[in-house]
Structure 1
Amino acid sequence: MEIEIATIGGYEEVGRQMTAVRAGDDVVIFDMGLNLSKVLLHDNVETEKLHSLDLIDMGAIPDDRVMSDLEGDVKAIVPTHGHLDHIGAISKLAHRYNAPIVASPFTIELVKQQIQGEEKFGVENDLMKMEAGETMQLSDEVELEFVNVTHSIIDAINPVVHTPEGAIVYGLDKRMDHSPVLGDPIDMKRFREIGREGPGVLAYIEDCTNAGRKGRTPSESVARRHLKDVLYSIQDYDGGIVATTFSSHIARVKSLVEFADDIGRTPVLLGRSMEKYSGTAERLNFVDFPEDMGMFGHRKSVDRTFKRIMKEGKENYLPIVTGHQGEPRAMLTRMGRGETPYQLQDGDKVVFSARVIPEPTNEGQRYQSERLLKMQGARIFDDVHVSGHLREEGHYEMLDALQPQHVIPAHQNMKGYAPYVDLCESQGYRLGRDLHATRNGNLIQLVD
């Protein structure tokens, strides 16, 4: 059976992920993501109002023209998890393919919301839920499987396409978390089984984000303990404490909510994406928040909440807000500019339970946001966080578990590939033979 892989997006940057695998006449697309930093370079751009061609020219979503070179029928579009760099282009591109969108329950709900917000295309692809551990027959000889992984968002999976020539494992994005705060641990047992079943693993596509960092990525339970230590250490402060994290990081939001209560403050979630992700997770029973906890997304309701906090006393509340990357329109950025009723004062604490995504636009915005907060007297607690991506030891363990014939680095540019290429070569792979460092828009023929 001919096996071919199209590396469409995410092979020159972190963001706008999209990969297609052709097995005979069957094609599976993994991810359709957005590169948000490309959008943020343009003032007041609303992606839902833009045509896909404009966004492709902007470098914001994948250029999927290479799909016309794949001779087969798309049987499924499979987003691995709900981050925008993996689902943000579905509302712009999915309608081009006569195929269902297949994802885990939380992810499919976020995809549905993306599609409902679309203003240019009527995306009518069927939406199909599939749980981790389940399989779907795509044709007589090709099967799709979801393997549970742990990441900085709940309900993440690594999809596997089983073919007569071996399995193709799409390994974006994960860390090896054996004691997660929410959900099940990573299913390493299943990965080891896949590596040793039948013809084994033909190809492994891997996220290289932290490949140059030594050791292993800590568990989310480590971040929870760090966050607890920080908040308990400032519980006697009688002024304002504000926290920010990734809106999609439900486990981290859960910890913040619980520790707010422990230190005698009422938690309140503020910002559109905070309301979207946490509200969806609660509605689908992935998390149980206090019944009386406020969750507000629209600016007017957010400002009303800020006024209430100022009236009743900042010492009684823990606002958990958007803006950890310094996004121009996010809550924390507005607070730093003095554009909300919430007034920061000397000594107030701002806890960043997130790292800045290592990309120049984000780094610049985050720097500006922190400077604005400090100018108002805020004291910053930085990097109360653990990554959602594998470090060196995790990569060694995955290669040992899967023993793939071919490895394809992804989720980086050429510079970012280098540590992972070195790591793979130390395990016997050779660049240009069975280790394929590639670019957006290329085809890799694995089996003729």
Structure 2
Amino acid sequence: MEIEIATIGGYEEVGRQMTAVRAGDDIVVFDMGLNLSKVLIHDNVETERMHSLDLIDMGAIPDDRIMSDLDGEVKAIVPTHGHLDHIGAISKLAHRYDAPIVASPFTLELVKEEINDEGKFNVQNDLIKMEAGETMSIGERNELEFVNVTHSIIDAINPVLHTPEGAIVYGLDKRMDHTPVIGDPIDMKRFREIGREDNGVLCYIEDCTNANKKGRTPSEAVARSQLRDVMRSLEDYDGGIVATTFSSHIARVTSLVEFAENIGRQPVLLGRSMEKYSGTAERVGAASFPDDLGMYGHRKSVDRAFERIMKEGKENFLPVVTGHQGEPRAMLTRMGRGETPYELDDGDKVIFSARVIPEPTNEGNRYQAEKLLGMQGARIYDDVHVSGHLRQEGHYQMLDALQPQHVIPAHQNMKGFSGYVDLADNEGYEVGRDLHITTNGNIIRLV
């Protein structure tokens, strides 16, 4: 059976992930993502109303025209998890393919919302829910399996395409978390089994976000402990405390809600994406929040919530807001510019339970947001966080578990690949032979 891998997006940057695997006549597409930084540099861009070709020209979504060079039929579109750099282009591209979208329950709900918000294209692909540990047939000779992994969003999986030539393991995105706050630990037992059954692993496609960092990525339990320590240290502060984190990081949001109540403050979730992700998680039963927890996404309802907080006393509340990357239209940035009814005073605390995504647009926005907050007297608590991506020791463990014949680094640029290339080289892989350094728009024939 011929096996080809098209590296369509995410091989020159962090964002707009898309990879297609052809096994014989069957093609499976993994991820269709958005590069948000390419959107943020433009003012007031509404991607929902834009044509896919314009977004491709901007570098915001994958250029999938290379798919015409694959001689087969797309049988499934498989997003690994619900972050926009993995699902943000589905509403723009999926309608081109007569194939179902197959995803874990929480991810599928987020895909539905992306499709419902789309204003340009009519996406009518079938939506199929599949849990970690389940499988489905792809054509007559291939099989798709979901393996549970842990990431900074719930319900993340690594899909595996089993072919007669061996397994193709699509390894984006994960960390090796054995004590997650929500959900099951990473299923390393299953990865080891896949590496040793039948023809083993033909190819492993790996997320290299933290491949230049030594050691291992800590568990979410570590971030939870750090956050508890910070919140407890502020228990006697009688002014305003504001927190921000990734809206999609449900485990972190639940910790913020819990610790706010522990120190006698009423948590309130503010911002459109904060309301969307937490509301969806609660609706599908993936997370449980207090019955009286306020979630407000619409601008007017958010401002009314701020007015109530100011009226009843900032010392009684913990607003959990969007804006951890300094996004220009997010709640925290608006607070820094004095555009909300919430008034920051000297000494008020702002907790960033997130790190800056290492990309120039984000770094510039975050710097500006922190400066604006500081000018109003806010005290910044930075990097109360752990990453959702493997560091070098996690990569070593995955190669040891899977023992793949071929390896393709992904989810970075050439500089970001360097640490992984060194690590793979030390494990006996050779560039140009079985270690394939590639860019967007290439096709690699393995068999």
Normalized against structure 1, the TM-score is what?
A: 1.00
State the secondary structure of the residue aligned to 2:286.
coil
State the secondary structure of the residue aligned to 1:13.
coil
- Residue identity matched to 1:43: D
Distance in 1 between residues matched to 2:391 and 2:224, nearest whole Å: 19
Confirm or deny that 1:388 pairs with 2:388.
Answer: yes
Deviation at 1:250, TM superposition (A): 0.0
- Residue identity matched to 1:84: L
Confirm or deny that 1:342 pairs with 2:342.
Answer: yes
- Residue identity matched to 2:256: L
Distance in 2 between residues matched to 1:169 and 1:286, nearest whole Å: 26
Confirm or deny that 1:25 pairs with 2:25.
Answer: yes
Deviation at 1:138, TM superposition (A): 1.0
Indicate the residue corresponding to 1:414 in structure 2.
Answer: 414
- Residue identity matched to 1:159: P
Deviation at 1:33, TM superposition (A): 0.1
Map Cα deviations across residues 287-320 of structure 1 (whole Å, 9 max, x no partner): 1100001000000000000000000000000000
State the secondary structure of the residue aligned to 1:409.
strand
Superposition map of 1:110-259 within 5 A: 110-259=110-259
Indicate the residue corresponding to 1:80 in structure 2.
Answer: 80
Confirm or deny that 1:99 pairs with 2:102.
Answer: no
Distance in 2 between residues matched to 1:183 and 1:90, nearest whole Å: 26
Indicate the residue corresponding to 1:277 in structure 2.
Answer: 277
Deviation at 1:156, TM superposition (A): 0.2
Indicate the residue corresponding to 2:358 in structure 1.
Answer: 358
Deviation at 1:140, TM superposition (A): 1.9
- Residue identity matched to 1:111: V
Indicate the residue corresponding to 2:50 in structure 1.
Answer: 50
Superposition map of 1:414-433 within 5 A: 414-433=414-433
Distance in 1 between residues matched to 2:226 and 2:316, nearest whole Å: 22
- Residue identity matched to 1:180: P
State the secondary structure of the residue aligned to 1:291.
coil
Distance in 1 between residues matched to 2:139 and 2:334, nearest whole Å: 52
Indicate the residue corresponding to 2:320 in structure 1.
Answer: 320
Distance in 2 between residues matched to 1:363 and 1:164, nearest whole Å: 45
Distance in 1 between residues matched to 2:52 and 2:289, nearest whole Å: 37
Map Cα deviations across residues 337-382 of structure 1 (whole Å, 9 max, x no partner): 0000000000000000000000000000000000000000000000
- Residue identity matched to 1:378: A
Distance in 2 between residues matched to 1:384 and 1:24, nearest whole Å: 47
Map Cα deviations across residues 150-194 of structure 1 (whole Å, 9 max, x no partner): 000000000000000000000000000000000000000000000
Confirm or deny that 1:61 pairs with 2:72.
Answer: no
Distance in 1 between residues matched to 2:66 and 2:234, nearest whole Å: 54
Distance in 2 between residues matched to 1:324 and 1:30, nearest whole Å: 28
Indicate the residue corresponding to 2:333 in structure 1.
Answer: 333
Distance in 1 between residues matched to 2:196 and 2:377, nearest whole Å: 58
Map Cα deviations across residues 392-430 of structure 1 (whole Å, 9 max, x no partner): 100000000000000000000111111100000000000
Distance in 2 between residues matched to 1:285 and 1:27, nearest whole Å: 32
State the secondary structure of the residue aligned to 1:136.
strand
Indicate the residue corresponding to 1:2 in structure 2.
Answer: 2
Distance in 1 between residues matched to 2:120 and 2:239, nearest whole Å: 46
Distance in 2 between residues matched to 1:78 and 1:37, nearest whole Å: 23
Distance in 1 between residues matched to 2:20 and 2:287, nearest whole Å: 33
Normalized against structure 2, the TM-score is what?
A: 1.00
Distance in 2 between residues matched to 1:353 and 1:446, nearest whole Å: 42
Distance in 1 between residues matched to 2:221 and 2:353, nearest whole Å: 13
State the secondary structure of the residue aligned to 1:433.
coil
State how many pairs are aligned: 447
Distance in 1 between residues matched to 2:309 and 2:52, nearest whole Å: 42
> Deviating runs (4+, > 3 A) in structure 1?
none
Map Cα deviations across residues 111-131 of structure 1 (whole Å, 9 max, x no partner): 000000011100000000000
Deviation at 1:139, TM superposition (A): 1.8
Map Cα deviations across residues 271-300 of structure 1 (whole Å, 9 max, x no partner): 000000000000111111000010000000
The Cα RMSD (Å) is 0.3
Distance in 1 between residues matched to 2:188 and 2:66, nearest whole Å: 33
Indicate the residue corresponding to 1:398 in structure 2.
Answer: 398
Distance in 2 between residues matched to 1:140 and 1:72, nearest whole Å: 13
Confirm or deny that 1:287 pairs with 2:295.
Answer: no
- Residue identity matched to 1:235: E
- Residue identity matched to 1:334: R
Distance in 1 between residues matched to 2:434 and 2:71, nearest whole Å: 23
State the secondary structure of the residue aligned to 1:247.
coil
* Structure 2 gaps, min length 5: none
Distance in 2 between residues matched to 1:290 and 1:313, nearest whole Å: 21
State the secondary structure of the residue aligned to 1:269.
strand
Distance in 2 between residues matched to 1:284 and 1:119, nearest whole Å: 25
Distance in 2 between residues matched to 1:354 and 1:276, nearest whole Å: 19
Indicate the residue corresponding to 1:446 in structure 2.
Answer: 446
- Residue identity matched to 2:243: A
Identity of aligned residues (%): 82
